[in-house]
A and B are shown apart, each in its own frame.
Chain A
Amino acid sequence: MTQQNIQVKKLDGKVPSGPIQDRWKTHKFNMKLVNPANKRKYSVIIVGTGLAGASAAATLAELGYNVTTFCIQDSPRRAHSIAAQGGINAAKNYPNDGDSIYRLFYDTVKGGDYRARESNVFRLAEVANNIIDQCVAQGVPFAREYGGTLSNRSFGGAQVSRTFYARGQTGQQLLLGAYSAMMKEVHNGKIKSYTRREMVELVMVEGKARGVVVRNVVTGEFEKYSADAVILATGGYGNVYYLSTNAKASNASAAFRAYKKGAYFANPCYTQIHPTCIPVSGDHQSKLTLMSESLRNDGRVWVPKIKGDKRAPAQIPEEERDYYLERIYPSFGNLVPRDVASRNAKLQCDAGFGVSATGKAVFLDFATAIKREGVEKIKAKYGNLFEMYQRITDQNPYETPMMIYPAIHYTMGGLWVDYNLMSNIPGLFVLGEANFSDHGANRLGASALMQGLADGYFVIPYTIGNYFASEKFSKVETNHPEFEKAFTDSKNKFNQLLSINGTKTVDEYHRALGHIMWENVGMGRNEAGLKKAISEIQTLRADFWKNVKVSGSNVDINTELEKAGRVADFLEIGELMALDALLRKESCGGHFREESQTPENEALRDDANFCHVAAWEYNGDGVLPTRHIEELTFETVKLTQRSYK
């Protein structure tokens, strides 16, 4: 890569001023409105129909806008939000245990290791209560107490019970709620839903986002769609690592195409490694399965005190077990945040205390809880998770402890957006996991569902109206030269992939990339490893474009070609992640630079130099991107070393 001298910008998040608790209210009042009769004159494209996309689609259509949605699966109901197990946070304080909007805000800022925008987080905490009300009104079957009121449970990083849940299928139920609201508007003719479509280009006209080119994966044809604004709600980029808890089709291509059109990519190195996943069993493995964080309510994490102890867990007496989370973090115990739990599991395994044949696992033990509450109660709480564990591992967690190990689960980084959730490209809005905004350097459990729905139900309907009312729009048809160019570029890229006709499969490249990422840009990162990762990815990428084998053709369904397009983008974004990690020389949340740690091996931030968002601007292939920054100011929550002891 060559260096280019581009002036580094200080980005403006357009955060309103005034007391933090009034900012969103004041901003809502100050924003311009579109009169009800005029809303039908505006059109919106939404890419992705998970919690953020489906909730935005339903809400904007209800307001009267003309909405077109695209999803990669055969139905909007299958987006990966569906796999979220544990729950959704809100500060209802129903259990009377001291919760408040302010505490949810505080916990989220602290949990994110002081790398999120305070104002966004406060807004998130503020609208969370409305989300629960809205979902109940839609008929989401949350868990209930005998008296008919809603149940709560606890999640990591909080000392109150504020998580609402629907068995171990909360994401499914919330998504089906948003999907049904969306289908209601399909019925009303306000949403046109296209399935089995993949976004391949963002189209900009006169500096504004005005449409997309998508590939119809059934026919292989490229299609052009124009609108007055484009919303990306396409999820995260965790599948860069090949093995992750993400669904197989989850990909970064839509966001990365937007990056290549000038949208800034913020904090790509912030990835979340979830502590409780089923360990890797062999080379055939295609994905990793999460065991919900809710299990840490009752499960106790431990390793043997003797290195390499090969005895069966039942044979290891109590005094020879190290319940290391309870030992190191007495106040939070097994419910420390995810980054802390994951890093400690790695430290134990690296030190030789790991269990299982590979030594890359720790125990999650329910014996104490079963003794205290009885099998039936534990079954009622976690039955479906225990069954899933048994189906995959062939072991019975009621009788023997689960074995777990951390895995890539979520990405806090994403396209940079301002307070209005608009990227630096006018008319391009980014919602949910695809943006970078609310979780800082580490997301707390049960906050992803909260953010996706907050963005879709309660933020975008206001901010997109303000955008429409503030701008003038010329009519743009899909025969505009910018559409023709994007259309031809897309076609050429896919034809090129088919023409290479090499010897290695797409999956082989993806696995190789995943290996580089996990080893060097995983739970522990250092300068030498990150530099090595960058050079190895560059070599792998060059080889991919020379030697990949994509079978089939560009007509009809070609699943190999779909994968190839995504892996081509992963091969670029992986390098950007490593570069971002290299330049962020501090540790914070999920980004752990081994050079920057406290004597107790906790993440050591460097607030003097890194209390900012890094947002990357694309400058062309083979050219170093520019690292712009947005300064973060903490006026309400004091910057302190995070402690869960």
Chain B
Amino acid sequence: MSGNSNETMSLNLKVWRQKNAKDKGEMVDYKLDGVSPDMSFLEMMDTLNTKLVKEKGDSIAFDHDCREGICGMCSMMINGQAHGPESETTTCQLHMRKFKSGDTIVVEPWRAKAFPVLKDLIVDRGAFDEIIAAGGFVNVNTGNPEDANSILIGQENAELAMDAAACIGCGACVASCKNASAMLFVSAKISQLALLPQGEVESVARTQAMVAKMDELGFGNCTNEAECEAQCPKGIKIENIARMNREWFKGALFGRK
């Protein structure tokens, strides 16, 4: 659909290959011709995989699912940037028109102690589920809650909560942080719920539980580099980390839960 769809590109790819969690792994070079600028980055990887399978090789394993930027499954470090060079864009929504023919592209998995590599570009992000299970919810059972409009929420707080809730849990924040900190992810959930009356009640206890779990799972600390914010595909703001710290200090200072 773009003006140059008839021209194709040739790329030099350097891709991380690792058989399984125990394998040491290495970078492998591939040359790929006939790449259309209208392809998404993942469609370019599909094309490479078709070529590998035809040539009796093992296809490159990578995580992907919805391919419309919302499921949070895709997770590639492209030329050292989480989800590649385009801001606020997931790998599946990155298109090859952002690259030039002849480019060398380095593709690696997320690197973090808490996200071990399972194969090639696939990592285990189960730690994020564990953090949510530690407290990322409102303690309310299914039943007969009051009418939805009996809880009034000002538009400003509703919008701020939605900004934080837009996190897709992809882990780019962890991968882009030199300390492999999960603060942006954790603070987004804490913020969403702290900003709403439904979640405010448990906010301090929730923060304590989630932060403790995050530390236990081997995520690093925040040293205010803000790389997480710069590379987040959904534009989650580090203000959320400040809000999380406030909730945490409430507990630390006043011994409140």
A residues lining the B interface (CB < 8 Å): 55, 58-59, 62, 73-78, 80, 82-83, 92, 94, 130, 132-139, 141-150, 166-167, 169, 171-173, 176, 179-181, 183-184, 186-187, 193, 195, 218, 247-249, 279, 281-282, 284-287, 289-290, 356-357, 388, 391-395, 403, 457-458, 461, 505, 507, 549, 551-552, 556-560
B residues lining the A interface (CB < 8 Å): 1-2, 5, 19-20, 36, 38-40, 42-43, 46-47, 50, 52-54, 56-59, 61-73, 86, 89, 93, 95, 97, 118-120, 122, 124-126, 128-129, 132-149, 151-155, 158, 161-162, 165-166, 168-169, 192-193, 196, 198-199
A286 and B43 in contact (CB under 8 A), knowing A180-B138, A195-B126? yes
A180 touches B71 (CB 8 A): no
| Contacts across chains A and B counted by CB atoms under 8 Å | 227
B44 to chain A, nearest CB (A): 8
A82 touches B70 (CB 8 A): yes
Which residue, of B89, B132, B166, has the highest number of chain A Cβ atoms within 10 A? Answer: B132
A148 and B43 in contact (CB under 8 A), knowing A80-B66, A183-B133? no
Q: How far is the CA of A76 from the CA of B126 in the complex (A)?
A: 10
Give the residues in chain A near B141, CB-CB below 8 Å. Answer: 59, 62
A556 and B19 in contact (CB under 8 A), knowing A141-B161, A287-B67, A551-B58? yes
Q: How far is the CA of A55 from the CA of B143 in the complex (A)?
A: 12
Q: How far is the CA of A392 from the CA of B193 in the complex (A)?
A: 33
A479 to chain B, nearest CB (A): 29
Give the residues in chain B near A78, CB-CB below 8 Å. Answer: 65-66, 71-73, 169
A1 to chain B, nearest CB (A): 32
A-B contacts, 24 of them at CB < 8 A, read: A77-B72, A80-B71, A82-B66, A135-B148, A136-B151, A139-B198, A141-B161, A145-B155, A147-B152, A180-B136, A184-B133, A195-B129, A248-B67, A286-B43, A289-B68, A388-B68, A391-B93, A392-B40, A392-B93, A393-B2, A403-B1, A551-B53, A552-B58, A552-B59
A183 touches B136 (CB 8 A): yes
A74 and B147 in contact (CB under 8 A), knowing A183-B129, A388-B93, A505-B50? no
Select from chain A the residue with minimum beta-carbon distance to B199. Answer: A139
B133 touches A181 (CB 8 A): no
Select from chain A the residue with minimum beta-carbon distance to B137. Answer: A180
Query: A55, A80, A136, A149: which contacts B145 (Cβ < 8 A)?
Result: A136
Q: How far is the CA of A171 from the CA of B149 in the complex (A)?
A: 20
Select from chain A the residue with minimum beta-carbon distance to B55. Answer: A551
A133 touches B148 (CB 8 A): yes
Select from chain B the residue with minimum beta-carbon distance to A59. Answer: B142
Query: A59, A94, A186, A281: which contacts B38 (Cβ < 8 A)?
Result: A281
Select from chain A the residue with minimum beta-carbon distance to B42. Answer: A286
Query: B36, B64, B149: which contacts A248 (Cβ < 8 A)?
Result: B64
Query: A135, A173, A179, A394: which contacts B2 (Cβ < 8 A)?
Result: A394
B96 to chain A, nearest CB (A): 10
A137 and B66 in contact (CB under 8 A), knowing A282-B36, A282-B38, A557-B118? no
Give the residues in chain B near A77, CB-CB below 8 Å. Answer: 72, 129, 132, 169
Q: How far is the CA of A358 from the CA of B137 in the complex (A)?
A: 48
A133 and B158 in contact (CB under 8 A), knowing A149-B152, A286-B40, A391-B95? no
A83 and B70 in contact (CB under 8 A), knowing A74-B126, A284-B39? yes
Query: A147, A148, A281, A549: which contacts B53 (Cβ < 8 A)?
Result: A549
Give the residues in chain B near A134, CB-CB below 8 Å. Answer: 142-143, 145
A137 touches B133 (CB 8 A): no
> Can you name 14 extra interface pairs (CB under 8 A) apart from A77-B132, A143-B158, A289-B68?
A74-B73, A77-B129, A78-B65, A133-B144, A133-B147, A136-B151, A142-B158, A144-B154, A146-B154, A284-B39, A388-B69, A388-B93, A507-B50, A552-B58
Give the residues in chain B near A457, CB-CB below 8 Å. Answer: 142
Across the A-B interface, the 9 shortest Cβ-Cβ residue pairs: A148-B152, A180-B137, A137-B145, A394-B2, A144-B158, A557-B119, A136-B148, A141-B162, A183-B133
A141 touches B158 (CB 8 A): yes
Give the residues in chain B near A149, CB-CB below 8 Å. Answer: 149, 152
Give the residues in chain A near B97, CB-CB below 8 Å. Answer: 394
Q: How far is the CA of A305 from the CA of B44 in the complex (A)?
A: 38
Q: How far is the CA of A247 from the CA of B64 in the complex (A)?
A: 9
Q: How far is the CA of A385 from the CA of B138 in the complex (A)?
A: 29
Select from chain A the residue with minimum beta-carbon distance to B136. Answer: A180
A454 to chain B, nearest CB (A): 12
Select from chain A the residue with minimum beta-carbon distance to B162. Answer: A141
Q: How far is the CA of A281 from the CA of B95 in the complex (A)?
A: 13
B71 touches A73 (CB 8 A): yes
Query: B137, B166, B196: which contacts A184 (Cβ < 8 A)?
Result: B137
B56 touches A551 (CB 8 A): yes
Give the residues in chain A near B166, CB-CB below 8 Å. Answer: 167, 169, 172
B142 to chain A, nearest CB (A): 4
A551 and B199 in contact (CB under 8 A), knowing A74-B126, A137-B145, A148-B153? no
B42 to chain A, nearest CB (A): 7
A461 touches B142 (CB 8 A): yes
Q: How far is the CA of A176 from the CA of B140 in the complex (A)?
A: 14
A552 to chain B, nearest CB (A): 5
Query: B67, B145, B165: which contacts A173 (Cβ < 8 A)?
Result: B165
